[in-house]
Chain A
Amino acid sequence: MSAEQEQNERKRKRAAKERPRDHPKKRSKVQDGDKEVDQKAELAVVPVNDAVGNTAIVPVIKKKEKKGKKKDKTLKTTKIEVPWSISEAVGGWFLPHDPVFSPDEKFLILATRSYLQIYSTATSLLVRSLRVIRSDITSYALSESKPTQIYAATAAGLITTWDLDTGKWLGRWDIKSEIRGIAAALPAKGSQDIIFTQEAGGRHVINAQTLKTDTGASENELKQILKTEEPIQSFQVLSTGAIIVVALQNSMMIGKALPRSSTDLKELEYVWRTFKIQQDITTFHARLETQTGPIAIPQKGSSGINPDSLDLAIGCVDGAILLYNDILRKLTKIERKNEKKNEKKNEKPENIIPRRLHWHREGVASLKWSVDGNYLISGGKETVLVIWQLTTGKKEHLPHLTSEIESVVVSPSGTSYAVRLADNSLIVLSTTELKPKTSIAGIQSRRVLHQGSESSQSGTLPSVLQKSSNPVAAYGKVPMAVNPLNSNQILLPIPSSQPRSEMSDQRLPAPYLQTFDISTARHVSRQALTRNNATNFNLGPERLKLREPDVKLMQLSHDGKWLATVEDWAPPPTDVEHISENDKDAAKEQSLRREIYLKFWLWNHQKGVWSLEARINTPHLFPDDMSTCQVIDLVSHPTEVGFATIGEDSFVRVWKPKVRRRDGAVVRSATSDALYTWSNSCSIELETSIQPPETKKRPLSSSLPLAACLAYSADGSALAATQDWGFNTAPGLVHLINTKAGVVHRSLPNLYIQKLAALAFVGQYLVVVSESVTVWNLVDDELSYSHSINLNQSDYTHQNSLIHLAVNAQDGTFAVAFPSLQFDQLASKKSKAPAPKIRKASSTIIIFDPSRPKPLHSSGLPDVVMALRPTLNGSGYITLDSAAEVRIINPKSSASIPLIGPIAKPDQSLATAGEVEEEVEDMDVDDEEEVIVPAAVKDSEMTDDEIEDTENDKPVVRPEHLAQIFDVGPSFAGQSMKELFNAVVGLYARKPRVRWEQEVTVGI
């Protein structure tokens, strides 16, 4: 039996299997009216009640009644209950999907979990974002029939389509199975897209279907075209659906459509040819070479309709690239030979010898043919973009990109490459100069993927990282800061890259600083805070990945000019193996070689970067053996420049800047700014470890505090410090330090029992978060109230380190965020198992007023909060979660940070989206001119509402006026630039005539 027959046979069998299952042939379209309801429902999907249900909030009120009543009364008069709201998510990671260029290359389509984001390639700005409901996007594709139409598929099986240009929602279909990939093709004769979907679940199939919008919804057809045993990695549809290339784990399948008479989908049949490859496939790209000039068609009928050759490039897990030229013809040739020889000497398709290009030392993450087929562009973990010239075998490198390459896309015209990197960013390079034209970056903070929540697309590579024993470590706090100079900006220490292939529960070191604008959802800047491997070989001699120092703590000074960071690096355990005899020794030797730096950075206005002013090596050290010890907490002085640290050595150190002087004269930099040195202005020794009364033999490490916290009071006059050893004889001792004198002024005992999480001052109250939230009134010196938090934690996870506390000084509230993690029960049953796996994680945030035991607000978030900060203008909080999404929680009445979002208005054509800005600029210029001419005063002819707004004596131009000028039609049909300009100037420069004349006469 020939291969073809075999395939047909297999197909028949498969079809027979399919039949009894009564697959829904026609899929109904979801009603249009559902849309809004669904979106509301989406917000509610957040497991609010679930999370709160886990945590019992039990108010424990210990208050003297008189005082309590008084306070309640006063508060009731001043504070009105306002509902709080959670904003839409900002940021998030881009999907591991090739970015899609719009056909005119003016726009680039990327997707996050729940949004399709359309960016302008000219300005790198987000132009439009389209929300998908109910589930996460898995794949998206542009329509072939209508180039402005896009399809997006979700894991829940919904396919949604929009018009890109207007952002209009066109339709939605429910396929009722998990979609992994989607592609659209326009058949040669038809006018309707055929949508190919790769579906997962219990089976691995590729389906073809037509999805009709309006009236023809009932005529939707479905045809299964492939079903495999192995999971399908990815597939590519070529030549209007005539050829489909599918990658399995280590074999390729090429399907070729049989000629059909009508556009009826039922007639769509493919002949599948399979061949195996030695290694695992990580990526592939196929290209159809349309042959020009006279072609000798070898055999009629057998070679099919098109004489084009299919070139296939396959990237392997060992870094080799295999090139198969005209693979389809070669496969058919072998088939035909086998047919003729009648199975005597079976030639296998594996005998086709591909051309082999091997430069990558690890798996090829992505590769693409150039448009003309002469070049191959590939990228991988080496952070090098490689361009292979196939005729000569030469290659060009673009080395030292910021991070690993995850996907490469060649634009339709071939003039640019879009390169998506593993640090959640994307650059578009021009092909000629390899200079970046567009650069798009999302929030690059550490994110955590749950096992199985996201399947790897390009195949997993063997990971060199060891699994950590603590699954919670990855959720560790991110020391986010809000920039006081621009309260829309947040600063985050970020890992250099987070490749999907290496996602583990390890805490990646964060050597870089990212500045991100929440309001516009734009990346502002990125800079290195520690040494890093951006331009170095990032593997050690033992092929182990080198770890960079990790910025563990970060604080901004109150004026936003200074940044303090604490970074930590220790050699890997393998480096100290030769010294140590056992594990304990190794840990000690490792900590002896630990490098901890406290760095102070000054904001440089000219360059727009943080410049390092001072570095303090080992800010804290053990006095007995002079070895480095870790800094546990870092806080910034609220009213002056200065920071305080607490370390494992039970010392609180206060750091202050000094103007650097030499011989009495101020030392200045080249730009004649004074230079500063930082020094320890005072250090306060707290109590050291008090051994527990029952002298059990404890390991060495337990003489170090498990947790320690610092907090400044609002005026900076007091510094609260506390340490938790886990076995204190005097538990919950909080010291109040007089910062002027540098001595412990007072110590409050029993504020908590153990498992300290956070400490803060809220006005006159001291808030301690441990197993409970305790609010202590310092003026009355009594307990205000206390709530307990129940975390469903197991023994080996220290979830208390994941509890966040933030104080908003503006409205005197504080917020507590804590995770609720659900562990895999299977793993925890085994006593030997190193760590339980986290199945599901979410978190709860509760906002309190320190004077009232009842929480102001409580809500759940779908991911684990990794940073919680107050907004600096107005009341509210900013959260950053494990999906790298930022949310703002604030009372509904106050808008602290306006979320501007995409620049295109709904229903506005994308082509005109950029012009909005130009108009704004025009207005700005006119405003400036306004200042120069004598001030215009109210005109008697002005309408009432105009007078209302004329506060600063400038003429009020309402949007309607501008619209009259600009919205006359499409831009090409409108007036000339000059006319437009005159019209706008006329609008802005109109003067109340009477007053103007008066001014003139006075002047004379």
Chain B
Amino acid sequence: MAAEVQPLQRVKFPTGPSATTPEQKYWNSFTNDLQLSAPNNTAITSISFPPPPTRISASPPAETFAVTSGPRIQVFSSKTRKLVKTISRFSVEDVAHSGTIRRDGRILVAGGETGAIQTFDISSRAILKTWKEHKQPVWVTQWHPDKLTTLMSASDDTTVRLWDLPSDASTHTFYGHHDYVRSGAFMPKQASGLLVSGSYDQTVRLWDPRTPGKEVMIFNMGSMVEAVLPMPSATTVLAAGGNQIAVLDLVGARTLELLENHQKTVTCLALANDGKRVLSGGLDGHVKVFETAAWNVVAGFKYPSPVLSLSVISSGAAREDRHLAVGMESGLLSVKTRLSGQQKALAKEREKEMAALMDGKIDEYDKKSLKRKRGKGWEKRLRGKDYTGEGADIIIKGNDRGKIKNLANWELSLRAGKYETALDQVLESKSPNRLQDTTTLLTTLRHRSALRTALSNRDELTLQPILRWINTTLAQQPRLINLTADVILLVIDLYADYLSQSPETQQLFTDLCTAVRNGLEASQVANRVAGMVDMLVNGYA
């Protein structure tokens, strides 16, 4: 049957090593860096945000995150990035650690330098509970991901404990580590409250409340464990020790990968992209993004001071990554935010409006924006719609194959066989794809034996754009040399006799000469280098 007219296939340039991958583009879209200094420049040791609710019926997610630094915990809104609450009810010499907000956003738990664990009501900042079982500083406190009243703690007194909010004493105590326990977490998807903890005794241990007294699994690491992070699959745990990150497989009880991308000690790990990416921060001031399939680094950031804590705060119903919060030793908190597409458009519009207001062109702006709402060419579209015809007549109906959509001017000219016009139009166009369009057109003209036709019968004025295109392409696009050379040969063949008749054209031809000479020199140098490299390679072999 009648074949449908397709737009012309664009010439694809060979893909070189891409400067920015989509992944990098994604992470670069975290902009709007908000930098907040902690009072007294105390190091920011922990940033946490409540995990998303696991059940739909649960209360709406708390759009807050907690930042712990020195003797206080600051609670920020993840919608506005504004400080909401500051909790500083710690004793004078006490330093707070690991302020963690419960899933519903109401209660916050924090450990302290004195070994006390305190829970606060966030809205009133009242202390709900204080446990003083740990004899040494508590560095880790975590809420159970499902159960609202269960929480864990890990302390420098080498113990890991499980707590129930209403009770006064810990429900479980796990002994086994023989050095400071500086990291720990609940394993996800485990109702029993399976725990993982990493200690300065260079081990990562897995604890199960159902088998008290002894760990269920030990991983020996080469260095002191600073951070552990269970993956959402609950079969993999990441543990950071020294400048390495180990990927531990719980099923096979072995180390899958050892990532050595940081130069200095890795201090913190965080999940992003719904568990598909892992971020790590280190004392070298770098934050690196790993993908979780093969654990390659796909993006990275550099911060001015050693990174102690980091978190990728997701928000909204889709739990999209919204903020990248990084806490540093210098007490600086950096919150970078990524806007969603809609927000971005709105922000742009707002910016434009503000700019118009500042320039005093707000009227013009309003008029424009109003017009846009109605759409372009609406009058034309309505015209003649009510016409029903004059009486009955046999009308051979038009072609109902529809219009060919989204064809550029030059493409239409090409379809109509107006090769010269098409070339003029593509050279005139200011579209961002101009280079691609021009290449496509010239290649197509070559395929249709029409290159000569398109270039011939030109006068001084219409020849100049072509010469200009040749000159720029020759200098900037060496990979198109075959096509450019063909065009040059044709132009010379056609217009060599008229060279001297116009000073401008002559100048362009002179430029062309220079461009060719430069290209020749460049290729000679390149050849020389290639020869040298060849010699080296052959010598090496």
Contact = CB atoms under 8 A, between A and B. Distances in A.
B291 A571 contact: no
Contact of B490 (A535, A542, A578): A578
Given A392-B394, A537-B417, A663-B23, A399 B2 contact: yes
Contacts of B291: 663-665
Given A395-B396, A541-B453, A663-B23, A401 B2 contact: yes
Contacts of A391: 394
B396 A394 contact: yes
A531 interface: yes
Given A663-B291, A665-B293, A541 B449 contact: yes
Contacts of A593: 446, 482, 486
A437 to B, nearest CB: 11
B449 A531 contact: no
A833 to B, nearest CB: 29
A694 B29 CA distance: 71
A939 B269 CA distance: 72
Interface in B262-299: 291, 293-296, 298
A664 B296 contact: yes
Interface string B288-326: 000101111010000000000000000000000000000
A515 B493 CA distance: 46
A542 B447 CA distance: 13
Contacts of B433: none
A315 to B, nearest CB: 20
B6 interface: yes
Contacts of B415: 536-537
A396 B419 contact: no
A531 B9 contact: yes
B416 to A, nearest CB: 9
Interface in B433-461: 446-453
B536 interface: no
B396 A389 contact: yes
State the main secondary structure of chain B at its contact with A.
loop
B497 interface: no
A571 B298 CA distance: 45
A56 interface: no
B298 A544 contact: no
B489 interface: yes
B399 A397 contact: yes
Nearest to B492: A578
B6 A579 contact: no
A569 B396 CA distance: 42
Contacts of A663: 21, 23, 291, 293-294, 296, 298
A575 B451 CA distance: 9
B58 interface: no
A662 B291 CA distance: 10
B251 interface: no
Contact of A402 (B3, B9, B493): B3
Interface in B374-404: 394, 396-399, 401
Given A535-B3, A541-B419, A389 B453 contact: no
Contacts of B370: none
B5 interface: yes
A402 B399 CA distance: 17
A993 to B, nearest CB: 55
A664 B396 contact: no
Given A397-B399, A535-B5, A578-B489, A664 B417 contact: no
A389 B397 CA distance: 11
B1 interface: yes
A439 B446 CA distance: 35
Contacts of B5: 400, 535
A440 to B, nearest CB: 13
B486 A396 contact: no
B21 A662 contact: yes
Contact of A436 (B1, B453, B482): B1
B444 to A, nearest CB: 9
Interface in A510-527: none
A571 B2 contact: no
Contacts of B451: 575
Contacts of A398: 2
A82 interface: no
A541 B22 CA distance: 44
B440 to A, nearest CB: 12
Contacts of B490: 578
Q: How large is the interface on A (under 10, 10 to 19, 20 to 34, 35 or more residues)?
A: 35 or more
A59 B296 CA distance: 65
A546 interface: yes
A387 B1 contact: no
Contacts, number: 95
A400 B4 CA distance: 8
Nearest to A540: B449
Contacts of A41: none
B448 A540 contact: yes
Contact of B4 (A535, A540, A541, A569): A535
Contacts of A397: 399
Contacts of A396: 396-399
Nearest to A402: B3
A574 interface: yes
Interface in A359-398: 387, 389, 391-392, 394-398
Interface string A174-214: 00000000000000000000000000000000000000000
A401 B4 CA distance: 10
Nearest to A533: B448
Contacts of B450: 540-541
A60 interface: no
Nearest to B451: A575
A578 B21 CA distance: 44
A795 B102 CA distance: 92
Interface in B200-250: none
B396 A579 contact: no
A666 interface: yes
Given A536-B415, A571-B446, A665 B1 contact: no
A827 B415 CA distance: 44
A372 to B, nearest CB: 11
A661 B295 CA distance: 13
Interface string A315-337: 00000000000000000000000
A678 B1 CA distance: 34
A427 B1 CA distance: 8
Nearest to B9: A531
Q: Which of A531, A572, A664 has the most B CB atoms < 10 Å from its CB? A: A664
Contacts of B493: 578-579
Nearest to A569: B447
A534 interface: yes
A535 B5 CA distance: 6
Contacts of B21: 662-663
Contacts of B489: 578-579
Contacts of B295: 664
A398 B2 CA distance: 7
Interface string A411-448: 00000000000000001000000011001000000000
Nearest to B449: A540
A435 B2 CA distance: 9
Nearest to B294: A664
A574 B449 contact: yes
17 contacts: A389-B396, A396-B396, A396-B398, A396-B399, A398-B2, A399-B399, A400-B2, A400-B3, A400-B5, A402-B1, A402-B3, A541-B448, A569-B447, A575-B446, A663-B23, A663-B296, A664-B296
Interface of A: 387, 389, 391-392, 394-402, 427, 435-436, 439, 531, 534-537, 540-542, 544, 546, 569, 571-572, 574-575, 578-579, 593, 661-666
Given A396-B396, A399-B2, A531-B9, 13 more contacts: A389-B396, A400-B5, A546-B447, A572-B449, A575-B449, A663-B21, A663-B23, A663-B293, A664-B291, A664-B293, A664-B295, A665-B293, A666-B293
Q: What 8 pairs between A and B have smallest CB-CB spacing?
A: A664-B294, A540-B449, A541-B453, A663-B298, A664-B296, A665-B293, A578-B493, A400-B3
